[in-house]
A and B are shown apart, each in its own frame.
Chain A
Amino acid sequence: MIDEGLLVSAVELATSRGATYAEARYQEDVSDFVLMRNGRVLSLSTSVVRGVGIRVLVGGSLGFAATDRLDRESVNAAVEEAVSRARALAPLMKRPIEFDESRTGRASYEVVPKVSLEDLGVEERVGLGREAYKAVGGALREARLAVFVFGVRTHVQRKLIVSSDGAYVRSAVPRISVWANFVEHLPERGTIQRYADFGASGGAERLKEWRVVEELVQEAQSLERVLASGVEPPKEEVEVIVGSEIIGLVVHESAGHPMEADRILGREAAQAGESYVKPEMIGKFRVGNEYATVIEDPTIPGSSGFYLYDDEGVPARARYLYREGLLHEPLHNRHTAKLFGTLSNGAARAMDYSREPIPRMSNTYLKPGDMSFEELLEGVKLGVYMKSYMEWNIDDIRWNQRYVGLESYLIVDGEISRPVRNPVLELTTGDFYSKITGAGKQLRFYPGTCGKGEPSQGVPVWYGGPDVRLSKIRLGVAA
Chain B
Amino acid sequence: MNARDVAERVLGGLRERFDSVVVKVVDRNAAMLKIWNSQPGVLQMWRDISVYLLLGKQRRLTVLEFEVGSPEEVLDAVRRIEDYVTRVEESELYAEPPEPREPAPLEGGYDRRVVDHLSDPKPLAEAMVSSALSSGAERVAGTLELGEVEVAVATSRGFDKSYRKTEVVTHLRSLRGELSGHWAWGSTQLDVGAVEDVGSRSAGFLELAKTKARFTPGRYDVILSPLVVGNLLNYVASMASGMAVLLGMSFLLGKSAGDAVASEGFTLTDAPRDVTLPGLAPFDDEGVETYNKPIIRAGRLASLLHNTATSRMFKTTSTGNAGWTNPRPWNLVVEPGSSTFEEMVSEVREGYAIMNNWYTRLQNYVEGQFSTVARDLVLAIRGGSVEGYVDRVRIADRFETLLKSIKAMSREVYDVSWWEVRIPTRAPYVLAESINLTKPMA
Contact = CB atoms under 8 A, between A and B. Distances in A.
B419 interface: yes
Nearest to B245: A147
Given A45-B65, A81-B45, A393-B372, A478 B88 contact: no
Contact of B367 (A51, A69, A77, A191): A191
A68 B440 contact: no
Interface in A415-432: 422, 424, 426-428, 431
Contacts of A34: 88
Given A121-B84, A123-B87, A393-B394, A270 B43 contact: no
B31 to A, nearest CB: 7
Interface stretch (B89-97, B256-264, B288-296, B297-305): B89-97
Nearest to B395: A479
Interface string A72-96: 0010011001100110110011110
B164 to A, nearest CB: 19
Given A61-B40, A390-B363, A70 B143 contact: no
Interface centre among A34, A46, A402, A456 (most CB of B within 10 A): A46
Nearest to B246: A37
A193 B364 contact: yes
B66 interface: yes
Contacts of A35: 325
A270 B173 contact: yes
Interface in B414-442: 419, 436, 438-440, 442
B89 A44 contact: no
Contact of B375 (A89, A121, A190, A273): A273
A303 to B, nearest CB: 24
Interface in B81-127: 81, 84-85, 87-89, 91-93, 119-120, 122, 125-126
Interface string B14-39: 00000000000000000111111111
Given A191-B367, A269-B141, A402 B325 contact: no
B47 interface: yes
A431 B442 CA distance: 8
Contact of A47 (B34, B64, B70, B126): B64
A476 interface: yes
B40 A66 contact: no
B360 A393 contact: yes
A122 B392 CA distance: 47
Interface residues of B, number: 90
Interface in B190-247: 217, 246-247
B342 interface: no
Contacts of A121: 84, 87
A62 B92 CA distance: 49
A454 interface: yes
Given A43-B61, A270-B182, A426 B68 contact: no
A86 B438 contact: no
Contacts of B171: 270
Contacts of B401: 479
Contact of B438 (A77, A191, A270, A426): A426
A62 B43 contact: yes
Nearest to B363: A391
A354 B141 CA distance: 22
Interface in A87-123: 88-89, 92-95, 121-123
B373 A43 contact: no
A9 interface: no
Given A47-B65, A49-B67, A356-B44, A479 B398 contact: yes
Contacts of A51: 48, 67, 69
A78 B69 CA distance: 14
Contacts of A213: none
Nearest to B376: A396
B373 A476 contact: no
B354 to A, nearest CB: 13
Given A42-B92, A44-B88, A394 B373 contact: yes
Nearest to B42: A62
A89 B122 contact: yes
Contacts of A455: 32, 44
A180 B364 CA distance: 14
B319 to A, nearest CB: 19
Interface in A127-166: 146-147, 149
A478 B370 CA distance: 9
Nearest to B202: A270
Contacts of B91: 40-43
B322 to A, nearest CB: 13
A25 to B, nearest CB: 14
Interface centre among B46, B366, B367 (most CB of A within 10 A): B46
B77 A48 contact: yes
B369 interface: yes
Contacts of A397: 392
B371 interface: yes
A123 to B, nearest CB: 6
Contacts of A268: 36, 141
B397 interface: yes
A81 B175 CA distance: 32
Contacts of A427: 440
Contact of A269 (B45, B69, B175): B175
A181 interface: yes
A193 to B, nearest CB: 5
A74 B47 CA distance: 9
Contacts of B62: 43-46
A400 B364 contact: no
Contact of A93 (B40, B126, B442): B40
A454 B419 contact: yes
B218 to A, nearest CB: 12
Contact of B48 (A66, A183, A266, A454): A66
A66 B46 CA distance: 5
A149 B93 CA distance: 14
B228 to A, nearest CB: 14
Contacts of B47: 65-67, 69, 74, 77-78
B371 A402 contact: yes
Contacts of A399: 392
A404 interface: yes
A391 B68 contact: no
Interface in A182-211: 182-183, 190-193
B139 interface: yes
A132 B154 CA distance: 38
A396 B369 contact: no
Contacts of A65: 44-47
B65 A43 contact: no
A161 to B, nearest CB: 18
A346 to B, nearest CB: 20
A210 to B, nearest CB: 22
Interface in A449-479: 454-456, 476, 478-479
A94 B367 CA distance: 50
B440 A431 contact: yes
A74 B70 CA distance: 12
A6 to B, nearest CB: 13
Contact of A391 (B92, B362, B392): B362
Interface centre among A43, A47, A401, A404 (most CB of B within 10 A): A43
B251 to A, nearest CB: 10
B81 A266 contact: no
15 contacts: A43-B93, A44-B84, A78-B45, A89-B40, A89-B43, A123-B88, A149-B247, A193-B363, A270-B142, A390-B362, A393-B394, A396-B392, A404-B363, A454-B34, A479-B397
Interface of A: 32, 34-35, 37, 40-51, 61-70, 74, 77-78, 81-82, 85-86, 88-89, 92-95, 121-123, 126, 146-147, 149, 181-183, 190-193, 265-271, 273, 354, 356, 390-397, 399-402, 404, 406, 422, 424, 426-428, 431, 454-456, 476, 478-479
Closest 5 CB pairs of A and B: A147-B248, A269-B141, A391-B363, A393-B359, A270-B141
Given A63-B42, A266-B37, 4 more contacts: A32-B81, A43-B62, A267-B37, A424-B396
